[in-house]
Amino acid sequence: MPAKVLVTRRQFEDQMDRLRAEADITVLTRPEPATREELLEAVKGVTGIFAHITDRIDADVMDAAGDSLKVIAEFGVGYDNIDTAAANERNIAVGNTPGVLTETTADFAFALIQSAARRLAESDRFVRRGEWKWFDPLDLLGLDINGSTLGIVGMGRIGSSVAKRAAASGMRVIYFNRNRADEEHGAELAGSLDDLLAESDFVTLHCPLTPETQGLISTSQLQKMQNHAVLINTARGPVVDMEALTDALGSGEIAYAALDVTDPEPIPTDHRLLEMENVTLLPHIASATVGTRKKMSEMTVDNILAALRGELPPNCVNSDQINWG
């Protein structure tokens, strides 16, 4: 009997064929995510789960799958939706897709820095509303990128790639990280998060979501930022306290935010932010290019296929905790 694998969302067909060749797969093909009840039912007896950010894979899901479950492979580099401690206790390998989305995500974060600086989304809305009547020397003025300071919070692969782009665009770059970064691209390590917030014209978040980074940017941090400053979040929504951010944007504590991620996702359609001009809201698309999403799918399948053969996934985040004898 081939092992069973659950794929929780629709995926690239060529990668599903690779899985099908070695496993009995169920793909939840409809566009929307499975409900909690559907997930708990669909995992029964599976050896592998091809998981997405929209699935909360906790101890209950692992127990619903049962002893057969060996691998949970996340389609993404962030895996905060998976309870890794529960996976460790059950000897379940957790895989992810680092590296392949680095440049794509850095491109996107830098695009948000540029579009926020020059108020592109706001200007587009202005034209669509029919409010563009004449060239105005004093309207829709933005910030210069060249010569400004970018603060990067989390200087891993993606943060470092953003630093490279910023340096090439004439920005001074400072960063805050637990350790000195492997690749600084001329960026300076800030003395503290507060120093970084106070000195930066633009702050971009690239840290993982952990208990330490949850709510990292809240009222007192926003107060440290300059009034003309811009906050970019392409990391995870809960790193920012959304209510505090909404208040800060409303009161002019900071000038602008560009958010690819929110808390919750999707952002409720009656959220105050949707009424505000000084924020760009995007639907978690930083890695969404054809090439990158295909590579992410391939890596996720590689992680599952390795585990089905009894090998640790090539990108396994808890390899030191797994003992498959």
Catalytic positions: 236, 265, 284
The contact mask relative to ligand DGY for 2-31 (x = CB under 6 A, - = no) is ------------------------------
- Bridge partners, residue 24, by sequence: 4
Which residue's CB atom is positioned nearest to ligand DGY? 76
* Shortest reach from residue 52's CB to ligand DGY, in Å: 7
Contact 236, 209 (CB under 8 A): yes
Closest CA to 192 of 230, 153, 157, 160: 153
Q: How far is the CB of 312 from ligand DGY (least distance, A)?
A: 20
**Looking only at residues 146 through 175 of this chain, which bind ligand DGY when binding is defined by CB under 6 A?**
none
Whole-angstrom distance, CA of residue 184 vs CA of residue 188: 7
Tell me the closest approach of the beta carbon of residue 54 to ligand DGY, in angstroms: 9
End-to-end CA distance of the chain: 22
Other beta carbons within 10 angstroms of residue 68's beta carbon come to 13
The torsion defined by the Cα of 155, 159, 164 and 165, in degrees rounded to 10, comes to -150
Peptide bond into 264 cis (omega under 30): yes
Residue 172's DSSP bridge partners are 149
Q: Quick count: other Cβ atoms within 10 Å of Cβ 246?
A: 17
Select 52 or 224, whichever has its Cβ closest to ligand DGY: 52
Closest CB to ligand DGY among 81 and 149?
81
Q: Least distance to ligand DGY from the beta carbon of 77, Å?
A: 4
Q: Residue 200 or residue 300: which is nearer to ligand DGY going by CB?
A: 300
Residue (43 or 53) nearer to ligand DGY, CB: 53
Over the window 74 to 103, marking each residue x when it contacts ligand DGY by CB under 6 A and - when it does not, the resulting string is --xxx----------------------x--
Q: Is residue 264 within 8 Å of 240, Cβ to Cβ?
A: no
User: Mask: binding to ligand DGY, 38-77, rule CB under 6 A, as x and -?
Assistant: ---------------x----------------------xx
- How many chain residues are in contact with ligand DGY, going by CB under 6 A? 6
Q: Tell me which of 161, 278, 287, 318 binds ligand DGY, using CB under 6 A.
A: 287
Q: Smallest distance, Å, CB 286 to ligand DGY?
A: 6
User: Do residues 303 and 82 touch, judged by C-beta distance below 8 A?
Assistant: no
3-state DSSP assignment of residue 38: helix
Nearer to ligand DGY, 78 or 156 (CB): 78
CB of 221 to ligand DGY, least distance (A): 22
* Four-residue CA torsion sign, 182, 183, 186, 190: negative
Q: Where are the beta strands (DSSP E) in 202-267?
A: 202-205, 230-233, 256-259
Nearer to ligand DGY, 109 or 248 (CB): 109
Token pair belonging to 94: 């957790």
Nearest approach, Cβ of residue 162 and ligand DGY (Å): 15
293 neighbors 287 (Cβ within 8 angstroms): yes
The number of residues making up the chain comes to: 325
Identity of the residue, 101 or 153, whose beta carbon is nearer to ligand DGY in the bound complex: 101
Distance CA 95, CA 75 (A): 9
Per-residue contact flags (x/-) with ligand DGY for residues 241 to 280, judged by CB under 6 A: ----------------------------------------
| Footprint of ligand DGY (CB under 6 A) | 53, 76-78, 101, 287
